[in-house]
Structure 1
Amino acid sequence: MLRLLVADDHAIVRQGLKMILSEEFSPLVFGEARNGQELLAQLGKGQWDIVVLDITMPGRSGLDVLKEVKQQYPKLPILVLSMHPEDQFAVRVLKAGASGYLTKENVPEEVVKAIRKVIGGGRYVSASLAEKLAFDLRSDAERPLHEALSDREYQVMCMIASGKTVKEIAEQLVLSIKTISTYRVRILEKLNMRTNAELTHYAVKNRLVD
């Protein structure tokens, strides 16, 4: 029996996964959470074999939630299933303790393959991501500026570079406009920039946004 907990704020994603995985894993105990708070509550109520986690949910950053879960349940495998391309978040996610990273563009068969590998104690990454991780390990080159950003700052930077306003970001992350404005100031300072246009140019150049 597989006990799988999915944390994603979109009901259609949760239901889609339930349909796909019910056919592949039988019997399946399927749990759902809409945000980080619900995920932590569900984890406290029972035992789970694996968590499938989105990193862009209302409220707390998925990366923050990931780190907290790994602190409380260090042996619990977590597979991140995200809308963000690998170039944007995969390395941060794996460094935070995830057992694998998949984009939501992957076909169902790939999701099943990843879950099987992760619950078997392995790690799941694409060939291109494995190559990038290997390159990062052996490279002595200076790290890019954005690696100095916190996970939340990095998330806000990507959203700004994608054309979202401070108000839109605040609404999506369920934070105040003042808080997002403070993040923006910190990001610009750390990247030694002055405007959103400079930030966007940097993000595009470094393939941090589509």
Structure 2
Amino acid sequence: MLPLRAIFPGKRVALRAPRVSDAPRIVEIRTRSREFLRAWVPVPGPDEFDVDLARARILRDRRDIRADRHYRFCMTLGEDGPVIGRVALTQVFRGIFQNASLGYWVDVEHHGQGFTTEGVTLALDVAFREIGLHRVQAAISPHNAASLAVARKCGLRDEGRAARYLQIDGAWQDHLLLAVTAEDWPAAPR
């Protein structure tokens, strides 16, 4: 189990569990980035735009980490900098599957600067080294060139197309399925 105080640093960003004090910043980012993210993320719930509801969501996120169900990390500039996005390993399955789903988003002000690629790389390292998963998969809209580029740069391979996979912006949309396993992870111990 990951300690809630753990910080996973990279060169420019770090991942850590969300803190209740992050709620105003997350709401600010999601509000500012709403139009930018609309075509790529499921319809956001009210907890994305209301600070009190965001605080409650963060408390649930922290419980989920302790329960090994979901790992919704904050991506920060450096170890002590502001939150600039989220990277999540959700729907953790144990037993014979040892799998999680990968999702990520970044503040529109930090888009296209390589921060997301670094954050996803850190999350995959945590998935395989710290959490002990065998497989991480992502479902990405075929029109989301930026997210597809991040996933592929991070070593996820194309595995197929799922028809009407997720409801995005009010419509059921096809998604490409990508995945990486522990054996393929470049940072995996040999």
TM-score (norm 2): 0.25
* Structure of greater relative contact order (alpha carbons < 8 Å, 6+ residues apart): 2
Task: Name the structure with the higher strand share.
Answer: 2
Q: More helix per residue: 1 or 2?
A: 1
TM-score (norm 1): 0.24
Q: Whose radius of gyration is greater, 1 or 2?
A: 1
